[in-house]
Chains A and B, each alone.
Chain A
Amino acid sequence: MFPSPALVRRRLLIWSLLCILALVILTAQMHSPDGRRIGWLGTAVEAVLAPPAVALARVSGVFTGAWGFITEIGTLRTANQRLTGEVARLREENARLRPDAQENARLRALLGFKQQLPYRSLAARVVGRDPSQWFSTVLVDRGASEGVQRDDPVITSDGVVGHVVEAVGSAARVLLVADPRSAVSVVLDRSREVGVAVGQGQTLLKVTYLSRDADVRPGDLVLTSGLGPIYPRGLPVGTVVSVSRTTMFQEAVIRPTSDLGHLEDVLIVLRGGAR
């Protein structure tokens, strides 16, 4: 019934060796940029598995729609009654606003954010999220075959999202600014104070290394400084929520301008300079 002492020793030896191997790999990762380097074998595995993940994600709209229907069925009856009343009001409002909306759509198309950028960029759809909960990466449906490279910045019209850490054929993995491995050189728009915005694995970021006597206030806009190797200057990163002092510096907690929790469409800024 019970295993022999020799068998127990062998099992513990194998377990210990595998644990040590995992820690060695993990420690080696921490010395690489972005805390992650998967090597040629990992890239090959990702290249094989990313296309089916992208294909599955393309039909996930139907799947998540059905899931949402099932989970919200209890509230549908009440919502239906409320919405019927609102439909009449909105019809009238819609007729009144339609000319304004059409004008707005034309102007938006004309002045689209993509056109404003002085860099070449590529629109991409978010097709997968990091399931690990503690780290923040997303998978997008554009990859090396479209010219996407490691370290390409990824943005939305609201501001910085992150940067590409892996690009395979038709997909790329983006490390979000909220990830603990992310660090972005930033400048406060009002006081021109320079700092580093680091992710904390949650919604808010922290700007460190602000000088102790700098004028930092809640509501201040934080932009990329252009001092780092990845992000061009002037892109919005977040707004200051609170400020605290350490012995040598000030630290500010900022809320990202981009809604990192609900990313759907992003722009990848392609390296290769201005268009």
Chain B
Amino acid sequence: MRFLVYAILAAAGTVLQTAWLTYLPLGGGIADPLLPIIMTVGLLHGSEEGAVVGAGIGLLHDVMSGSPLGLGMAAGVCVGFAAGLGERSLSFESAWLPALGGAMLTVLGAAVSMTAAHLVGLAQAPFADAVRAVLGSACYNGVIAVPIFHGLRRLDAAAVGLYERSRA
């Protein structure tokens, strides 16, 4: 049930990003609604689930974005895993958690993606341009992560409750 919800949200986020969000850049950066989804799954359910869901969503992003397959997947795995490290140690009620988490994980995802691209010999944009674009995306994702985190947290709790009631 939960994974179906994640899949639907990821598909909707991918379509939204491809069709709309790429036309609304901020400081050279583009919003990525998939990253807050991966972050939320990692924070709520731990590193294992975060990494697995991050891999799936990253691969979906690669298919729909035109990037070489595997780049987004590598970034998603690391973002989900890193978010999961805060599963038990962070306060979910903190207003800053999703915003800071979204921004920091954006930087992590971009670093992983660029490193993986260098490893397979893909040319990249100049470093200064890359840093500017990543910082723009980090700010953007920090903002959109707040509603996505709280919305998905409620949705997740409802899905878990529904599953447990059906088993009872």
**Beta-carbon contact of B30 and A27 below 8 Å:** no
**Beta-carbon contact of B70 and A130 below 8 Å:** no
**Beta-carbon contact of B77 and A22 below 8 Å:** yes
B57 interfacial by beta-carbon distance below 8 Å = no
**Beta-carbon contact of A49 and B64 below 8 Å:** yes
A229 interfacial by beta-carbon distance below 8 Å = no
Interface of B is mostly: helix
1/0 per residue, CB under 8 A from A, across B83-94: the answer is: 010001100000
B72 interfacial by beta-carbon distance below 8 Å = yes
A162: shortest Cβ distance to chain B, in Å?
11
B51 interfacial by beta-carbon distance below 8 Å = yes
Nearest residue (CB) in B for A13 is B48
* 8 Å CB contact of A127 from B19, B21, B116, B130: B19
Alpha-carbon separation in the docked complex, A48 to B124 (Å): 30
**Beta-carbon contact of B20 and A56 below 8 Å:** yes
A212: shortest Cβ distance to chain B, in Å?
23
**Beta-carbon contact of B66 and A173 below 8 Å:** yes
Interface of A is mostly: helix
Known: A36-B66, A53-B15. A131 touches B21 (CB 8 A): yes
**Beta-carbon contact of B68 and A29 below 8 Å:** yes
Known: A14-B52, A42-B63. A132 touches B72 (CB 8 A): yes
* 8 Å CB contact of B68 from A35, A57, A173, A200: A35
Interface residues of A (CB under 8 A from B): 1, 10-11, 14-15, 18-19, 21-27, 29-30, 35-38, 42, 45-46, 48-49, 52-54, 56-57, 60, 63-64, 67, 127-135, 137, 139, 165, 173, 175, 180-181, 199-202
In the A-B complex, list the 7 residue pairs whose CB atoms are closest, starting with the nearest.
A26-B70, A137-B66, A56-B19, A25-B70, A22-B74, A180-B123, A22-B73
